[in-house]
């Protein structure tokens, strides 16, 4: 039985991670998956998370009962504030529908399932390039998608004109997927002025803007600054979907903590939308897990832990910035042909190096430096110990 089932290719990101695990070379380096590492190359559990877990264990009324399909109400409220801000007009008028989700991927899939039922025939426009799973989630869910131009390879910057043209050309009322901050994989975000132009086109075309917020705090080190673009769209009254992940900014990768939000016109519409999300969730996985949401809820509602989290987030993003400078300096001192200033000017967790697919293959096969085939290096995996080795490998593949 099942002899006719063909073997599937490995996932373009998780598959590289698997190959890294299987490599027996002592020199191997993993800069594939977007997961933070300490300068010793180790995964890190934030101190605020450990403290929150200790507090949770002390709670006498802690139980393992089911959450409702839409998740923990207090957690959801705290997440809404983190996304839309303390002074949000939308939150004050009760017009945001939000459900707890299985991190960002679960939020995206929930949104896709909602679209399938209530936005039939609408196409999602996704940046080119993007986090590959944006595309495959739509494929798996059966939601039509297309791309808008984003990356200008020649200037290693944003192709704003191309982006605006494609968003303008999309049929009225389309869904435009936007990276809220720290674009994955390019590390290039629109400036405030460019966001303004994007907003004007989206508003004129009555598009729904779907902000994917997987890196809040990683672009600038500040949670509020990283939400500025999305909040501006919200204040301007554009209809929004928002997917939120706590994988990177809380280091809660495996706990699967996130939310999915839909902005509505009235509180009545919120009620109806929530009731539909409940049905979708019930039939996908019944209800979300509690532990990670309890951690986030504890930290966000305790002023001291909240401050500690913000400090730890800043420290993570500063270490990444230091590694950008270190990698740039190593390449410059090796005299590696080409310009490498984009390594320090790009933001967030990734560097979109500009290496060709062949060069990326060489990085993996010859040098055991596991990066993505599209040229993306996770700067969060670069350390003061491996940066020289990575630079030498880049130098070699560029020269040969
Ligand atoms: C990444 O882009 O590496 C991360 O978002 C991890 C993932 O799930 O792909």
Tell me how long the chain is: 400
Tokens of 128: 């080119």
- Alpha helices by DSSP H, the chain: 14-22, 47-58, 73-84, 89-92, 103-118, 132-141, 160-169, 192-204, 228-235, 267-284, 291-300, 303-334, 341-345, 357-365, 387-399
Residue 105: per-residue pLDDT? 98
Share of the chain above pLDDT 70, in %: 100
Q: How far is the CA of 255 from the centre of ligand 1 (A)?
A: 14
Q: How far apart are CA 62 and CA 43, in angstroms?
A: 28
Q: How far apart are CA 360 and CA 69, in angstroms?
A: 43
Which pLDDT band, with edges at 50, 70 and 90, does 334 fall under? very high
Q: Class of the 65-289 domain?
A: alpha beta
Residue 85: per-residue pLDDT? 97
ipTM over 0.95: no
Atom in ligand 1 nearest the alpha carbon of residue 33: 3
H/E run at residue 97? strand 96-101
Mean pLDDT computed over every residue of the chain? 97
Q: What is the pLDDT of residues 268-279, one digit of tens each?
A: 999 999 999 999
Q: How far apart are CA 320 and CA 298, in angstroms?
A: 27
Whole-number Cα distances in Å, 60 to 56, 57, 67, 295: 9, 8, 18, 16
Whole-number Cα distances in Å, 195 to 66, 124, 199: 41, 19, 6
Is residue 131 annotated as a catalytic residue, yes or no?
yes
Residue 304: per-residue pLDDT? 98
Is residue 39 annotated as a catalytic residue, yes or no?
no
Is residue 322 annotated as a catalytic residue, yes or no?
no
Q: How far is the CA of 284 from the centre of ligand 1 (A)?
A: 22
Catalytic residue among 159, 189, 212, 226: 212
Q: What is the mean pLDDT of residues 307-332?
A: 97
Q: How far apart are CA 212 and CA 288, in angstroms?
A: 19
What residue ranges do the domains of the chain occupy? 14-45+315-399, 65-289
Give the residue whose CA is nearest to atom 1 of ligand 1.
34
Q: What is the mean pLDDT of residues 366-391?
A: 97
**What dihedral do alpha carbons 353, 359, 360, 364 form, nearest 10°?**
-130
Q: How far is the CA of 210 from the centre of ligand 1 (A)?
A: 18
Q: What is the pLDDT of residues 131-149, one digit of tens each?
A: 999 999 999 999 999 999 9
Reduce the DSSP state of residue 248 to 3 states and report it.
coil
H/E run at residue 326? helix 303-334
Q: Ligand 1 pocket check: which of 10, 16, 32, 33 to mutate, most ligand atoms within 8 Å of Cβ?
A: 33
CB proximity list for 116: less than 8 A, separation 6 or greater: 141, 142, 143
Q: Please list every protein residue whose CB sits less than 6 Å from any atom of ligand 1.
A: 13, 33-34, 131, 133, 184
Q: How far is the CA of 48 from the centre of ligand 1 (A)?
A: 23
Q: Ligand 1 pocket check: which of 101, 129, 130, 133 to mutate, most ligand atoms within 8 Å of Cβ?
A: 133
Strands 350-352 and 240-245: unpaired
Residue 82 predicted with pLDDT over 90: yes
Strands 258-263 and 240-245: antiparallel
Residue 317 predicted with pLDDT over 90: yes
Q: How far is the CA of 33 from the centre of ligand 1 (A)?
A: 6
Output the CA angle 53-215-111, nearest 5 degrees.
95
Residue 209 predicted with pLDDT over 90: yes
Atom in ligand 1 nearest the alpha carbon of residue 105: 8
Q: Please state the φ and ψ torsions of residue 234, each to the nearest 5 degrees.
A: -65, -45
Residue 60 predicted with pLDDT over 90: no
**What dihedral do alpha carbons 146, 148, 150, 152 form, nearest 10°?**
100
Q: Which CATH number fits the domain 14-45+315-399, given the four candidates 2.50.20.10, 3.40.710.10, 3.30.450.40, 3.90.1150.10?
A: 3.90.1150.10
């Amino acid at each position: 039985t099942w002899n006719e089932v063909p073997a599937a290719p490995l996932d373009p990101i998780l598959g590289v991670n698997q190959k890294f695990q299987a490599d027996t070379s002592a020199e191997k380096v993993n800069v594939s998956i977007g997961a933070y590492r300490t300068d010793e190359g180790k995964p890190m559990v934030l101190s605020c998370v450990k403290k929150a877990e200790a507090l949770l264990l002390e709670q006498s009324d802690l139980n393992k009962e089911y959450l409702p399909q839409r998740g923990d109400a207090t957690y959801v409220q705290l997440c809404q504030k983190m996304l839309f801000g303390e002074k949000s007009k939308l939150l004050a008028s009760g017009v945001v529908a939000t459900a707890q989700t299985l991190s960002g991927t679960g939020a995206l899939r929930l949104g896709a399932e909602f679209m399938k039922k209530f936005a039939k025939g609408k196409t999602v426009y996704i940046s080119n390039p993007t986090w590959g799973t944006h595309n495959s989630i739509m494929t798996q869910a059966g939601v039509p998608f297309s791309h808008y131009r984003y990356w200008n390879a020649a200037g290693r910057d944003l192709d704003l004109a191309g982006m605006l043209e494609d968003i303008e050309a999309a049929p009225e009322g389309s869904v435009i997927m936007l990276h809220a901050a720290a674009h994955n994989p390019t590390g290039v975000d629109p400036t405030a002025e460019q966001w303004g132009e994007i907003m004007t086109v989206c508003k004129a075309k009555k598009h729904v803007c779907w902000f994917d917020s997987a890196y809040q705090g990683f672009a600038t080190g500040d949670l509020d600054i990283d939400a500025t673009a999305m909040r501006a769209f919200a204040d301007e009254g554009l209809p929004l979907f928002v997917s939120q992940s706590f994988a990177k900014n809380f280091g809660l990768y495996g706990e699967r903590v996130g939310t999915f939000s839909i902005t509505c016109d009235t509180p009545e519409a919120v009620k109806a939308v929530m009731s539909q999300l409940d049905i979708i969730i019930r039939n996908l996985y019944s209800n979300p897990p509690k532990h990670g949401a309890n951690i986030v809820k504890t930290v966000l509602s305790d002023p001291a832990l909240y401050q500690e989290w913000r400090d730890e987030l800043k420290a993570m993003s500063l270490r990444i910035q230091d590694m950008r400078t270190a990698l740039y300096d190593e390449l410059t001192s090796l005299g590696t042909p080409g310009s490498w200033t984009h390594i320090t000017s790009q933001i967030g967790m990734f560097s979109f190096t500009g290496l060709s697919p062949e060069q990326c293959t060489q990085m993996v096969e010859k040098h055991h430096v596991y990066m993505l085939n599209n040229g993306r290096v996770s700067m969060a995996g670069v350390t003061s110990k491996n940066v020289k080795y990575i630079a030498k490998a880049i130098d070699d593949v560029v020269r040969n």
